[in-house]
Amino acid sequence: MSESLFDQASERLADAIAHVHISEDAIERLKSPKASLQVSIPVRMDNGTLKVFQGYRVRYNDLRGPTKGGIRFHPKVNMDEVTSLAFWMTFKCAAVNLPFGGAKGGVAVDPKQLSKFELERLSRGYIDAIADFMGADVDIPAPDVQTNATIMGWMVDEYSTIQRKLCPAAITGKPLTMGGSIGREAATGLGAFFAIETLMPLLKMERSQTTVAVQGFGNVGAAIAEAMSKAGYRVVAVSDSKGGIYSKKGLDIPSIVHYKNSTRSFQAVYCQDSVCNIVEHDTLSNEELLELDVDILVPAALENQITEHNAHKIRAKYILEIANGPVTPAADKILERRGIMVFPDILINAGGVTVSYFEWVQNRSGFYWTLEEVNDRLKQSMVTETLRIWEVAQQKQISMRTAAYVHALTRLSDAIDAKGTRSYYAQ
C-alpha cells in the first residue's frame, strides 16, 4: 500500500522533532487536524442537468490565530491532499511568524470543463456549504491552484450575502475593488525572489553566472521566472502543463509572459512592442526539465514532482520549492546524500500568505497600503525569516527544510505550552 500524502507530510514533523526540545503536549496536538469537513455541492449545469461535486475544507491548527489557506479546483483534490496542505500551511505561517494557523480547501473538478456561469455557481455553492466553518476570526480562504481573484470575489460576495453584511476580511486574494490588496497576485513569486536574493551571497553565487529552470508557468512560476530574468539570472527553461521550452543561451521571459497573456500560447519568443517572433529553442517534457543541468531548479507546479524514482537524475545544485510539496521525503534523503540543497516550500512560497495577511489586516482596519509599502513589508518578512532559518541550519548542521520546521515548531510549541502542559500541571 502506497504512503499517503499526509504520511509524507508528517515525516517532516518527525525529522524536526529530533532537533528541538518540545513538550509531549505539542507533539500530540500537531499530529491531527482540528477539524475536517467534506461537502457535496449540487450545481445546475448550463444544459439543465444537475452535477454534484465533492468539496473539502480542513482547519489543521489555530493555536496561533485563525486558520489560513487556499482553495484549489483540481480533478485530483481529495481529503488526504487537503489535510496535507493544511498541515504545511500550519508550519508555513509559523515559519514566517504570521498570527495564523493552517487550513486548506478544494473541490474535485476540472474548471477548464466548466463555463463561466457554471464556475460561478460552483464557487458560490462551495461557500454556501462551508459558510459555518469559516469567517474572518475563524478561517480565511484564499486562491490556490486554478482559482483566482474573480473566484474569490464571487466567494466573498456569497459569504457576505449569507451573513447579511459586508465581510471583506473573510476571504483574501480578492479583486482590488472588493478589498483586495495591491501586490497580492505577484506575492508568492516575489517572496520567493526575495528569499533567493537573500541566500545568493551566503551561497557565494553571482546572478549572471546562475542558470535557472522553472517547472510550471502559471501565475507564480511566471512571476519568479520574470523576476529572476530581470535581475540578471539566466533562465534557460520553463514549462507549463503541456511541456517545456529550453535554450542554453537563456530565454526572454518578459516576452514569453507577454505572448502567453496575449495569445494563450506557450512559445519561446522575443517581442518588440506588439511584434513577437519565435526564436530558436528546444522542446522538452516536464520530466526532462527537472533533470536539466542547471544551478537552480524551481518546481512551481504540483506536489510529488521529485520522488525516489527520479531524484538520482536531478542535476541542479539547488532546488527552490515554490509548489507545495514537490519533493517527497524519500527524494529528500537521496538529494541530501548527493549534496543537492533544497530550500523548502514552507519558507520559499510564503510570500502569498504573507500578503494575504496584509490584505486581512487592511480589510479589518479599513486603511489600505501602497504597492511600495506592501512589497517593502513583504521583503522585510522574507529576508528576516530566511536568515533566521539559515542560521538554524548552520548552527544545528541540518538541512534547510528541517531547519524551517524546527523554527516553526518552536513557535507552535510556545503557543501550545502557553495554555499549560503536563509538566505545568504536575508541579
Q: Is 199 exposed, middle or buried (0-12, 13-18, 19+ CB in 10 A)?
A: buried
- Give dist(CA 66, CA 17) in Å, integer: 24
What distance in Å separates the CA atoms of residue 106 and residue 367, rounded to the nearest whole number? 30
The Cα–Cα gap between 159 and 150 comes to 14
- Spot the catalytic one: 34, 92, 104, 174: 104
Secondary structure element (H or E) that encloses residue 50, with its range = strand 50-61
Q: Where are the beta strands (DSSP E) in 234-389?
A: 234-240, 243-246, 269-272, 275-278, 282-284, 296-299, 318-320, 341-343
- Spatial distance between the Cα atoms of 140 and 91, rounded to a whole number of angstroms: 16
Contact present, 130 and 58 (Cβ < 8 Å): no
Spatial contact of 371 and 182, defined as CB atoms under 8 Å apart? yes
- Asked if 129 contacts 106 with a C-beta cutoff of 8 angstroms, the reply is no
Residues 244 and 237: beta-carbon distance below 8 Å: yes
Q: Is 104 a catalytic residue?
A: yes
Q: Are 229 and 235 in contact (CB under 8 A)?
A: yes
Other C-beta atoms closer than 10 Å to the C-beta of 335 total 20
Neighbours of 423 (CB within 10 A): 11
Starting at the edge strand that comes first in sequence, how are the strands of the sheet with 101-108 ordered? 35-44, 50-61, 101-108, 67-74, 139-143
Catalytic residues: 104
